[in-house]
Amino acid sequence: MAVLTIVLVVVGLMVAVRAYNKMTMGRCRCTARLDGKVVIVTGANTGIGKEAARDLAARGARVILACRDLQKADQARDDIVASTGNRNVLIRQLDLLSLASVRAFAKGVLQTESRLDVLINNAGAGGLPNQRTPDGLTMGMQANHFGPFLLTCLLLDLLRKTQGSRLIMVSSMAHPYGHFDIDNMDCEKSYNGFYLYCNSKLCNILTAQYIAQKVKGVTANSLHPGVVQTDILRNVKTAWIRNVADRGIGLLFKSAAEGAQTTIHLAVSEEGGRVTGKYFSDLKVTAPGGPANVPGLAEQMWKRSEKYVKLADDERPFRD
């Protein structure tokens, strides 16, 4: 009886969590078209990024899928084209674990595109090992922050030139739980994978905040997509942990299409083009936690990040 009671309680909690998520889940109802507009979505070969790209392609946008794995990106493109009828969906290789790749991608965009209406920094990863990239940066921090940060710096002038452009940073509700040390951003002193992930997601929020402070004419916002059934834990090596997490997330939480709704809202809605420097969850402005509210931290993060990615003078979007 005791075991049966425990099982019933667990099942009841799972049903309650699922029901709560369904009741509070936001869905973008905006019908705006994006014909003639250019959108970049990083990590668009799967999960939230793919579903956001699909929606924006269905609205008529020219969508650039910025992906590391070209084979998966090709499959994603075929799927998006088939489901939307929009053939103006392009693939460009982008490996955030290589700053040279980020620079090459940005150079290609600047050579081929005369405008950039929406940049969605969606790509991210959890469970990456405690290893350094060829750039000498911690893998998790480069994938989630330093790579997207550099990409944003390199494309910010094109965003500035495009009237009504938008920058969207996909962050996480994990951001308040990091032990953020501006002098240990890349774990030079000590390493903790959980706190590194939280810190990287905090940096996503701070990036949007700083751009909102500095740039007029570009809205910059961050968001928590919800706990979503994606393959973000694909790098976790312990199989049983990954399997349990995947099954639990699949039963309890959002699908990728549901998780993409706040991203889509910020990309197409009137609010997304008017509000800037805010953090969103389920389509609503939400107060960020902890360090995201520390005065001056966004500027400190920005200037320190410029040094980590070795930003050249002609790459700096702000020169004051």
Active-site residues: which are they? 197
User: Strands 118-121 and 89-93, how do they pair?
Assistant: unpaired
Note the residue count of the chain.
320
Q: What is the DSSP letter of 289?
A: P
* CA atoms of 274 and 138, how far apart (whole Å): 35
CA angle (208 as vertex; 306, 76 as ends), nearest 5: 95
- What's at 45, amino acid-wise? N
* CA atoms of 262 and 230, how far apart (whole Å): 16
Tokens of 255: 């699908």
Q: What interhelical angle do 261-268 and 47-58 show, nearest 10?
A: 40
> Alpha helices of the chain — where are they, by DSSP H?
2-24, 47-58, 70-84, 99-112, 139-141, 147-161, 193-214, 239-252, 256-259, 261-268, 270-274, 297-308
Cβ atoms of residues 115 and 158 within 8 Å: yes
Phi, psi (deg, nearest 5) at residue 93? -75, 135
Closest CA to 64 of 88, 40, 42, 87: 40
